[in-house]
Structure 1
């Protein structure tokens, strides 16, 4: 794993503290990272959703948001949140490339997106990840997400895991 430089004043759980930037879903770095995510999913499962099939407007503010994370001048991750209904948000396209993993960047992105959703008065947040993505499952579990029934039609529970969390607490509603 590549060692990232230490940022003074970064929280104890993440060094260095990345900067996050809100960008449109069609931003070139988002496209690069979401295609890398798709390539990893194809390798793990033999199939994957095409990130280009997600409407760009899903992440439009004020309710939606898409972030990229940087350390120094290097893009080290991305993630978005979009509304599912008037009370519920969904985390989507969360990805940290291999060399940047293990530094708390995913957790940092997740916390930003949760705060954003809560600031929009959404009360529940959901996500879906693959069963073989043990690092993501561990991250989401540590962050208070619990398994829930699938909310995406046609998903195979032997492959996909849906998880949910009540915003402002550590357990789903």
Structure 2
């Protein structure tokens, strides 16, 4: 399989996006015993509020990533967006695709005037925590649906100008 990831902007309601979002929900059930209950409005991922992307290898949807504008203030930034639905299917993992999707999210958010990205992940996703820390993200105060949960970890990164 070619490792050239083609990233396309999609609506979160696009069939490829929906299938991958369902796959990540199944991953949450396996790791945490339940689906992610963070409120999601599909309009959050439409301009000017946010953007949703699907990554393809050889025409097959294998990855997702999205950002939505956020009221969270972190790292001195006034204009932030939250990363959501970062996921790579197991068959395509360990090839740097998540890192490529993350870089794409950072670039598109910066183009939209976002100063910093924030995100919430969980302790049962050590590979995600490793990705974010190795990509320049740092711990920020808890926020969002799981704020205060012992399993929740929040990170942020100021985007380059």
Q: Does the 8 Å contact 1:63/1:120 carry over to 2? A: no
CA distance in structure 2 between the aligned counterparts of 1:154 and 1:33, rounded to whole angstroms: 22
Name stretches of at least 5 consecutive residues in structure 2 with no aligned partner: 72-77
Is contact 1:65-1:82 (8 Å) kept? Answer: yes
Return the match for 2:41 from 49, 55, 70: 55
Match of 2:54 among 68, 85, 109: 68
What residue is the counterpart of 1:149 in the other structure?
141
Aligned to 1:32: 19
In the TM superposition, residue 50 of structure 1 has moved relative to its aligned partner by 4.6
Q: Choose the corresponding residue for 2:33, options 27, 42, 46.
A: 46
Over 3 Å off, 4+ runs: none
Query: What is residue 10 of structure 1 aligned with on the other side?
Result: none
TM-score normalized by the length of structure 1: 0.83
Residue 162 of structure 1 corresponds to 154
In structure 2, the residue corresponding to 1:29 is in which secondary structure? helix
Structure 1 contact 30–78 (Cα < 8 Å) conserved: yes
Verify the 8 A CA contact 1:63 1:117 in the aligned structure 2: no
Q: Does 1:20 align with 2:12?
A: no
Q: Could you give the per-residue CA deviations for residues 54-98 of structure 1, whole angstroms, max 9, x where no partner exists?
A: 111000024411000001111110011110036001100111011
**TM-align CA RMSD:** 1.7
Mapped to 2, the partners of 1:115 and 1:21 lie a distance apart of 14
Larger Rg: 1
TM-score, with normalisation over the residues of structure 2? Answer: 0.89
Name the structure 1 match of 2:99: 107
Contact 2:81 / 2:114 at 8 angstroms: preserved in 1?
A: yes
Query: For residue 133 of structure 1, what is the aligned residue in structure 2?
Result: 125
